[in-house]
Amino acid sequence: MARVHLYVAAACAVVLALAAPSLAGDPDMLQDICVADKTIPIKINGFPCKANVTADDFFFDGLRNPGNTNNPNGAVVTAANVDMFAGVNTLGVSLARIDYAPGGLNPPHTHPRATEIIFVLEGVLEVGFITTADVLFSKIITKGDVFVFPRGLVHFQQNRGHGPATVIAGFNSQLQGTQQVAMTLFGATPPVSSDILAKGFRIDNQLVDAIKARF
């Protein structure tokens, strides 16, 4: 009897292990295609399906040209997710192009709904992510290299070269979600209490307020 219980437990463990990937990403699609129709004011987990579909719904040219890096971070993300590209609705995939000026930074952030993998088109970047055990995994990567950031972990990329840099990022979600750590904490609406941030960062309230003013 004990052996039977062991076999049952092992079988359950295998089933749960095989099921885990399907629980981790976007829901499985229930039809061949479901191009997002954002004109329908229905709130669901995703978007309703468009009735009249053409080949253009599965085409997107928004990643052809470099983005404008003239901003405080010196980097810009151009998304090809369901917000911009209706054809990926229910498909569980999306892309982004990230352009960096020299020294440009895609600041520490997380994607709660997706793992991210990047391919370097040009430039030299320092990239890294931090685990929940506060361990940093960081590496210098260059043209042709690939690096992956596990889902939900804080990560970053910075251009360490003398010229511009560009990567293409892939996500296993139609809408990966992005939370920039600094903006989330210091630029939230309504604002997080300065007392909470001061105690959490072990600084005084005046410094917290000064940082908030920048966001």
- 128 and 168 in a single domain? The answer is yes
Q: Say whether the peptide bond before residue 190 is cis (omega within 30 degrees of 0).
A: yes
- 59 and 149 in a single domain? The answer is yes
- pLDDT at res. 41: 85
Q: Residues at the annotated binding site for Mn(2+)?
A: 109, 111, 116, 155
**Which residues, 6+ apart, have CB-to-CB distance to 17 below 8 Å?**
none
- 102 and 73 in a single domain? The answer is yes
Tens-digit pLDDT profile for residues 123-149:
999 999 999 999 999 999 999 999 999
- 68 and 114 in a single domain? The answer is yes
- pLDDT at res. 7: 40
Mean pLDDT of 1-15: 42
- 189 and 153 in a single domain? The answer is no
- 87 and 37 in a single domain? The answer is yes
Q: Is 8 inside a domain boundary?
A: no
pLDDT over 50 at 98, yes or no? yes
pTM score, two decimals? Answer: 0.84
For the record, the structure tokens of 30 come out as 């229930």
Range of the domain at 208: 179-214
Rounded to an integer, what distance in angstroms lies between the CA atom of residue 114 and that of residue 181?
16
- 42 and 136 in a single domain? The answer is yes
**Which residues, 6+ apart, have CB-to-CB distance to 21 below 8 Å?**
none
Q: Is 66 inside a domain boundary?
A: yes
Tens-digit pLDDT profile for residues 46-56:
889 999 999 99
**Which residues, 6+ apart, have CB-to-CB distance to 54 below 8 Å?**
none
Q: Is 77 inside a domain boundary?
A: yes
- 170 and 190 in a single domain? The answer is no
Q: How far is CA 52 from CA 56, 60, 145, in A?
A: 11, 18, 40
Q: Residues at the annotated binding site?
A: 106, 109, 111, 116, 155
Q: What is the CATH number of the domain that holds 118?
A: 2.60.120.10
- The 3-class secondary structure across 93-122, one letter per residue, is CEEEEEEECCCCEEEEEECCCCCEEEEEEE
Tens-digit pLDDT profile for residues 50-90:
999 999 999 999 999 999 999 999 999 999 999 999 999 99
Q: Is 16 inside a domain boundary?
A: no
Number of domains in the chain: 2
- 94 and 141 in a single domain? The answer is yes
Q: Is 137 inside a domain boundary?
A: yes
pLDDT tier for residue 1 given thresholds of 50, 70 and 90? low
- 114 and 86 in a single domain? The answer is yes
- 146 and 203 in a single domain? The answer is no
Q: Is 11 inside a domain boundary?
A: no
For the record, the structure tokens of 193 come out as 């209490």
Q: Is 117 inside a domain boundary?
A: yes
Q: Is 183 inside a domain boundary?
A: yes
Are the C-beta atoms of 112 and 172 separated by less than 8 Å? Answer: no
- pLDDT at res. 12: 40
Q: Residue 147 carries which DSSP code?
A: E
Q: Residues at the annotated binding site for oxalate?
A: 106, 111, 116
For the record, the structure tokens of 25 come out as 């990403």
- 157 and 135 in a single domain? The answer is yes
Longest dimension (CA), the chain: 69
pLDDT tier for residue 13 given thresholds of 50, 70 and 90? very low
